Amino acid sequence: MSVQIDAKPGLDIETRLFIGGDFVDSVEGARIPVTNPHDNSILAEVSEARPADIDRAVEAARKAFPVWSRMGAAERGRLLAKLADAIEADSENLARLETVDTGHPIRDTRGLDAPRTVATFRYFAGLADKVDGRIAQVEPGFFNYITREPVGVVGQIVPWNFPLMFTSWKLGPALAAGNTVVMKPAELTPLTTLRVAQLIARVGIPAGVVNIVPGYGNVAGQYLAEHPGVDKIAFTGSTLTGRKIVQASAGNLKRVQLELGGKGANIVFEDAILEAAVNGSAFGIFHNQGQACIAGSRLLLHEKIADQFLERFVALAKSIRIGNPLDQTTEMGPLTSTGHRERVLRYIEVAKEQGSSIFTGGKVPADSALQAGCYIEPTVVTANPGDRICQEEVFGPFVSITRFKDEAEAIRIANSTEYGLGGGLWTRDLQRGHRVASAIRSGMVWVNTYKRVSPTSPFGGVGMSGYGRDLGPESLHEYTYPKSVMMNIDAQVPPYYKR
């Protein structure tokens, strides 16, 4: 069935599973309540996928795979472009849904999330007919060509922090390469992914190519990762869950792609343009309430400029407008769930126990209008490199401040965690920029900017931040495998066995 969301009157939202081209109820009739983190009111109840539903979705995807994989690549690209157009036309609906479902301010869902989603689908629409193979030079008389073939049925698990954007990051390359998909959006934030399913049905993508099955990670996610009919699992989320995904995938040795946690080091050198570094560092940690795996959550400041930087940075943090995310003037909304807010608040207590000084924040806003929601003030604390808050991912509007003396110490601190997803630095010295970027062990490094992403550039990490890449042409290799075909053209091969 469909429901109307009060935040967007007149918009009918499907709340059922999307399997085989149709919206259907779950076999067991189970439902998941979806809340608005601004006030914890119930937005909707969506069907909960359980193993029987995952079986149906995988069966539909397997049935559709020969149709989609053998379709002309240009035609697949045309359909993806149509989907991009449909999302663009529906972007206001999607932006408002994303805001009420996640707490992400409307100015960002309109200005960043929806446009990024459109751009991603358009990029992969253009790449669909550019999945090239190669010819290998082999001995005379033989012809050896290598093609790239779609993996097959792909299980994809999308996180709750940027569900709309990550839906495009996962679907775009998988579909462009000729795979079919069973996608499990997070139980907390399934609404925009279900809305995209409505648009998929409208634009003519064949039934079963995309299947959307909201459900709990320990039930639907676990079963999807274990499923023998799934050829690959692509997961974005916590490192703890990523380990479980790897273990669950072992049954049929399916391919695994993981984009996991991060603990980004953001280094400000003494020669940085201070105003740019302050503004960029604030965006790096406070955008989307710090709920980003690439957040610059460890701010490393050269001792010569630390006091000056902090004076400006703390003042900026205090000035951030917290409020209802549907208000266009709001700069920071609520965290996405009550449980996650409690987790971040516990880390503030850990910081105090470890001797951190709190420059600002560390508590729930005093505004009575925000008390029912999942709000936390932007928080800035001091910390030592070995402290828990510098080693563990907090995933909130929470940044630790550590001072350093020289470049070598900054690099050593930056590389002192088990993560390696994103990091950054601020300097006017071009040589230092290249040198330090090379030295940071991370899948992505920003110089004189932070947390900028593009569909054209690979996104992923090393170490406990996972393996594999979303985005860029590199992601097409994640969703294909090389097939070598060796042909005897005119080689005269003597008998190997003598009679």
370-379: pLDDT as tens digits: 999 999 999 9
Over residues 437-489, the pLDDT tens digits come to 999 999 999 999 999 999 999 999 999 999 999 999 999 999 999 999 999 99
**CA–CA gap between residue 441 and residue 444 (Å, rounded):** 9
Clarify whether 311 is annotated catalytic.
no
Asked whether residue 343 falls in the same domain as residue 198, the answer is no
**Cα Rg for the chain, rounded, in angstroms?**
24
Is 489 part of any domain?
A: no
CA dist list (Å): 110 to 88, 106, 117, 195, 407? 11, 6, 11, 16, 39
218 and 121 in a single domain? The answer is yes
* Residue 236 belongs to domain with CATH number: 3.40.605.10
Compute the distance between CA of residue 60 and CA of residue 183 in angstroms, rounded to an integer: 12
Domain housing 441: 265-447
Domain co-membership, 161 together with 95 = yes
CA dihedral 98, 103, 108, 109 (to 10 degrees): 0
CATH number where 297 lies: 3.40.309.10
Mean pLDDT (whole number) for 156-183: 98
Structure tokens at 106: 């409307």
Q: What is residue 493's predicted lDDT score, i.e. its pLDDT?
A: 93
Is pLDDT above 70 for 9? no
pLDDT band at 4 (very low <50, low <70, confident <90, very high): low
Buried b (16+ CB within 10 A) or exposed e, 236-263: bbbbebbebbbebbeeeebbbbbbbbbb
Q: For residues 435 and 294, state if they share a domain.
A: yes
Neighbour count for residue 218 (Cβ, 10 Å): 10
Residues paired with 425 in a beta bridge: 267, 447
Per-residue model confidence (pLDDT) at position 12: 83
- Asked if residue 320 and residue 256 are part of one domain, the reply reads no
Tokens read off for 497: 């066995």
In degrees rounded to 5, what are phi and psi of residue 27?
A: -55, -45
Going by C-alpha positions, the residue among 2, 8, 16, 7 that lies closest to residue 41 is 7
The pair of structure tokens assigned to 184 is: 């499990």
Specify whether the CB–CB gap between 128 and 73 falls below 8 A: yes
Confidence of residue 6 (pLDDT cuts 50, 70, 90): low
Q: Can you give the pLDDT at residue 310?
A: 98
* 253 and 280 in a common domain: no
Q: Which two tokens stand for residue 171?
A: 């679907």
269 and 256 in one domain? Answer: no
319 located within any domain:
yes
Tell me which of 9-13, 53-57, 411-415, 478-482 is least confident. Answer: 9-13
Count of beta carbons in the 10 Å neighbourhood of residue 367? 11
Single residue among 401, 419, 447 that ends a domain in this structure: 447
Asked if the model's pLDDT at residue 281 lies above 80, the reply is yes
Residue 321: pLDDT over 80: yes
Q: For residues 182 and 19, give the distance between their C-alpha atoms in angstroms, rounded to a whole number.
A: 9
pLDDT digits 0-9 by tens, 310-319: 999 999 999 9
Same domain (yes/no): 51, 177: yes
Name the token pair of 451. 């947390």
Question: Which helix (H) or strand (E) is 403 found in, with range?
Answer: strand 398-404
Say if residue 199 is in the same domain as residue 299.
no
What percent of the chain is predicted at pLDDT more than 70? 98
What is the band of 303 on the pLDDT scale with cuts at 50, 70, 90? Answer: very high
**Is the confidence at residue 307, as pLDDT, over 70?**
yes
Assess whether 390 carries a catalytic annotation.
no
State the total domains in the chain. 2
Residue 399: C-alpha distances to residues 214, 319, 339, 346 (Å): 32, 16, 20, 14
Residue at 499 is within a domain: no
CA distance 184 to 172: 15
**DSSP letter (8 states) at residue 113:** I
What are residue 26's phi and psi, to 5 degrees?
-70, 150
Task: Note the pLDDT tens digit of each residue in 350-396.
Answer: 999 999 999 999 999 999 999 999 999 999 999 999 999 999 999 99
| Structural domain includes residue 71 | yes
The DSSP annotation for 434-455 comes to: HHHHHHS-SSEEEESS-S---T
For residue 135, list its beta bridge partners: 145
Closest CA to 411 of 323, 488, 302: 302
Residue 34 has pLDDT above 80, yes or no: yes
For 324, the token pair is 């209802």
| 48, 293, 374, 390: the active-site residue | 293
Distance CA 50, CA 54 (A): 6
> Which pLDDT score is estimated for 367?
96
Q: What is the mean pLDDT of residues 108-116?
A: 98
Q: How many helices (H) and strands (E) does the chain have?
A: 16, 24
One domain, residues 249 and 286: no
Backbone φ and ψ for 332, nearest 5 degrees, come out as -140, 125
C-alpha closest to that of 404 among 313, 285, 310, 299: 299
pLDDT given for residue 7 in this prediction: 61
Burial (CB count within 10 angstroms: exposed 0-12, middle 13-18, buried 19+), residue 408: exposed
This prediction has a pTM of 0.97
Q: Is residue 458 part of a domain?
A: no
From CA 101, how far away is CA 337, in angstroms rounded? 10
Q: How far is CA 198 from CA 2, 12, 21, in A?
A: 11, 10, 9
User: What integer is the mean pLDDT of 304-309?
Assistant: 98
pLDDT band per the 50, 70, 90 thresholds, residue 10: low
Q: Which of 48, 259, 393, 407 is labelled catalytic? A: 259
Three-state DSSP at 404 gives strand
Q: Is the pLDDT of residue 226 over 70?
A: yes
Reading the block at residue 40, the tokens are 């914890």
For residues 379 and 358, what is the distance between their CA atoms, to the nearest angstrom?
7
- Residue 368 falls inside a structural domain: yes
Q: Are residues 256 and 270 in the same domain?
A: no
Q: How confident is the model at residue 498 (pLDDT cuts 50, 70, 90)?
A: confident
Q: Which of 401, 421, 447 is the last residue of a domain?
A: 447
**Number of Cβ atoms within 10 Å of the Cβ of 342:** 12
DSSP H helical ranges for 177-305 = 191-203, 222-226, 239-249, 274-286
297 within a domain of the structure (yes/no): yes
Same domain (yes/no): 255, 269: no
- Domain-located, residue 313: yes
Contact call for residues 285 and 316 (beta carbons, < 8 A): no
pLDDT digits (tens, 9 = 90+) for 43-98: 999 999 999 999 999 999 999 999 999 999 999 999 999 999 999 999 999 999 99
